[in-house]
């Protein structure tokens, strides 16, 4: 009988992360059973092969596993600790940070949520955000998700 922490191939999540060359806090969390599955946890995942597809950084800079500081961003002095990280793809993490930073800058410049939504609707974004229409509610929820 196999352990619930092992998949049908007999590999633990920690072993999968190690094979993907991921070290540090996410690997330690997997070892302790604090990560449930190998899955991009970003609100929007851009990977065309899905949230569970990861490659090593040697084969793909976009789809390698990455440590996302959440809920407190690294730029806001968030620590790389089990209570403040989640697993992501490199590109998904970069895009999430980029849009949050852009929205924060526009808010700090005094723009309304409606003005920000209009500005974002004029900007070409990668899928899946490319197909959405920004609204004031979506702009606000992006900052708090």
pLDDT in tens, 51-99: 999 998 888 889 999 999 988 888 888 899 999 999 999 999 998 888 8
Q: What is the pLDDT of residue 8?
A: 38
pTM of the shown model: 0.78
pLDDT of 145 higher than 70: no
DSSP codes joined into one string, the chain: ---TTB-TTS-BHHHHHHHTT--THHHHHHHTT---SS---SSS---TT-TT----TTT-SSSSEEEEE-SS-GGGT---SGGGEEEEEHHHHHHHHHHHHHHHHHHHTT--HHHHHHHHHTS---TTGGG----HHHHHHHHH-
pLDDT (mean) for 108-127:
87
């Amino acid at each position: 009988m196999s352990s619930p922490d092992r998949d049908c191939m007999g590999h633990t999540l920690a072993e999968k992360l190690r094979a993907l060359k991921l070290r540090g806090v996410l690997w330690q969390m997997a070892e302790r059973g604090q990560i449930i599955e190998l899955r991009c946890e970003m609100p929007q995942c851009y990977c065309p092969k899905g949230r569970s597809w990861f490659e090593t950084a040697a084969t793909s800079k976009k789809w390698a596993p990455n440590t996302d500081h959440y809920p407190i961003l690294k730029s806001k002095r968030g620590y790389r600790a089990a209570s403040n990280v989640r697993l992501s793809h490199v590109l998904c993490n970069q895009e999430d940070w980029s849009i949050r930073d852009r929205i924060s800058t526009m808010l700090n410049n005094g723009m309304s949520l409606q003005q920000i939504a209009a500005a974002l609707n004029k900007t070409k974004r990668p899928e899946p955000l490319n197909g959405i229409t920004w609204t004031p509610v979506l702009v606000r929820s992006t900052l708090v998700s």
